[in-house]
């Protein structure tokens, strides 16, 4: 059962910026310093920023009050004999607000759309907001991942646009077309983000009522100065 009442749906009156740190940085001091610098740099800006560090850094970053903290994945189970898994309930208990699901790097490891759908329902059941990544086969992916779910945040992030795979960002026109297509499957107030090679130079071009209401940022979120600049530009939208 999806406990929709427990979910704090992002009202999207402000742009939503999600930082996907992936398996970085290599030690906890660097993670703490990066989060502290970002926190200081974005204080007072009209924007919602969620840092998604590796699981092991989450507890030490949670006191960073001006930032929300999310995870990069979760199980579809809440507890039990599932070696190596982390449950949505555990993330919620720590104080996480969001969880990225179905990232293309996880899908390459064998995660299916059905699994992403189950994970999103399990996250919503405990009041975590799922940020579900959608890539190339938009209609097929939307049909499966959004089945029986209302409160999603979606991120259009084709794998070929991701910077570390040598990608290049999609055009704002493509983003607009994809957003229109996605809206055929979801309630009209569902936030749609764009992800893939976003930086401070191009972030502005993706944001708008008919484009994206926020961005998912990988590589650029690991450089505090660049990320702060990106957030400042997004906040001016
Ligand atoms: C990502 O992989 O989620 C991502 C947004 O990466 P990048 O910004 O580095 O393209």
| C-alpha 228 to ligand 1 mean position (Å) | 16
Q: What's the pLDDT score for residue 66?
A: 74
Alpha-helix runs per DSSP H in the chain: 28-42, 58-61, 88-94, 104-107, 113-125, 138-145, 172-182, 203-206, 224-235
Q: Which of 100, 193, 197, 230 to mutate to test the pocket of ligand 1 (most atoms within 8 A of CB)?
A: 197
216 lines ligand 1 (CB under 6 A): yes
- Closest approach atom of ligand 1 to CA 196: 10
Distance CA 227, CA 230 (A): 5
195 lines ligand 1 (CB under 6 A): yes
Taking CA atoms only, the protein residue closest to ligand 1 atom 6 is: 218
Average pLDDT over residues 23-43: 96
Q: Which residues of 102-129 are buried (b: 16+ CB within 10 A; e: fewer)?
A: bbbbbbeeebebebbbbbbbbbbbbbbb
Average pLDDT over residues 70-89: 98
Domain extents in the chain: 16-235
| C-alpha 220 to ligand 1 mean position (Å) | 8
**pTM recorded for the entire structure:** 0.94
Instruction: For residue range 175-212, list pLDDT tens digits in order.
Output: 999 999 999 999 988 999 999 999 999 999 999 999 99
Instruction: For residue range 112-142, list pLDDT tens digits in order.
Output: 999 999 999 999 999 999 999 999 899 999 9
- Considering only the top CATH level, what class is 16-235? alpha beta
């Amino acid at each position: 059962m999806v406990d929709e009442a427990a979910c704090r749906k992002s009202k999207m009156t402000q742009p939503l910026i999600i930082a996907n740190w992936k398996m970085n940085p290599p030690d906890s001091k660097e993670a703490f310093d990066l989060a502290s610098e970002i926190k200081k740099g974005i204080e007072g800006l009209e924007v919602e920023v969620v840092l998604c560090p590796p699981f092991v850094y989450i507890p030490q970053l949670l006191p960073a009050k001006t930032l929300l903290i999310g995870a990069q994945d979760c199980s579809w189970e809440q507890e039990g004999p599932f070696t190596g898994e982390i449950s949505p309930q555990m993330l919620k208990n720590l104080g996480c607000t969001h969880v990225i699901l179905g990232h293309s790097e996880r899908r390459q490891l064998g995660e299916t759309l059905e699994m992403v759908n189950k994970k999103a329902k399990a996250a919503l059941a405990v009041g975590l907001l799922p940020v579900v990544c959608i890539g190339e086969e938009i209609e097929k992916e939307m049909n499966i991942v959004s089945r029986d779910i209302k409160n999603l945040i979606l991120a259009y992030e084709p794998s070929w646009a991701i910077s570390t795979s040598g990608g290049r960002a999609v055009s704002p026109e493509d983003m607009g077309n994809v957003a229109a297509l996605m809206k055929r499957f979801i309630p009209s107030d569902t936030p749609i983000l764009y992800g893939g090679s976003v930086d401070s130079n191009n972030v502005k071009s993706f944001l708008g009522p008919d484009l994206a209401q926020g961005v998912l940022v990988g590589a650029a979120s690991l450089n505090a100065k660049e990320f702060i600049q990106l957030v400042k530009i997004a906040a001016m939208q």
